Amino acid sequence: MKKLLVLSAALLGIFFTSCSSDDDDSGNPLIGSWGFFQDENANGELEEGDECSKKLTLIFREDMSFELEAYGSITGDPDECEKDSDSDTGTWAILSEGLLAITYSEGDVEQGMYSIDGNTLTIINEYESNGETETERSIYIRK
């Protein structure tokens, strides 16, 4: 689930990242930094993440590169967050209206639907789990 959250964050971040400190003149609202806010649970309800997951940041750059900063707790204590191994870099591309592709540094490619409404980025990702297709929706807020 953590990997999916990171993946969703990356997909979402790739399409719609923007920073107030990194004002973007390219016109692409995805450029910048996006912080994780909420994730949809199995019942379709939105839930805020714990303190570690709220530190997750997607950074989309004009040169089509991205960085995913993921955090976790080695001890299980959410107050002891450290940057973890799910952090990654790579490239991003918008394949068509609302469809984002992210290529991770190790070569894995993921695609997902995204939308931006004001300072909110929503990424919807489908994946296979135990032979069934699951859908995950993650929401990010511009930093």
Domain ranges of the chain: 2-142
CA separation for the pair 10, 70 (Å, rounded): 10
User: Could you report how far apart the first and last alpha carbons of the chain are, in Å?
Assistant: 24
Q: CB of 4 within 8 A of CB of 125? A: yes
CA separation for the pair 66, 104 (Å, rounded): 9
Q: Please report where in the chains the tokens 């750059």 appear, as a residue.
A: 61
Lowest mean pLDDT among 4-8, 40-44, 48-52, 75-79: 4-8
Compute the average pLDDT of residues 31-35.
96
Query: For 75, which DSSP code?
Result: S
* Architecture per CATH, 2-142: Beta Barrel (2.40)
Is the alpha carbon torsion for 117, 43, 94, 106 positive or negative? Answer: positive
The whole-number pLDDT of residue 97 equals 93
- Consecutive H or E run containing 6: helix 2-15
The whole-number pLDDT of residue 23 equals 45
Which tokens sit at 102?
């992210």
Question: In a 3-state reduction of DSSP, which class is residue 8?
Answer: helix
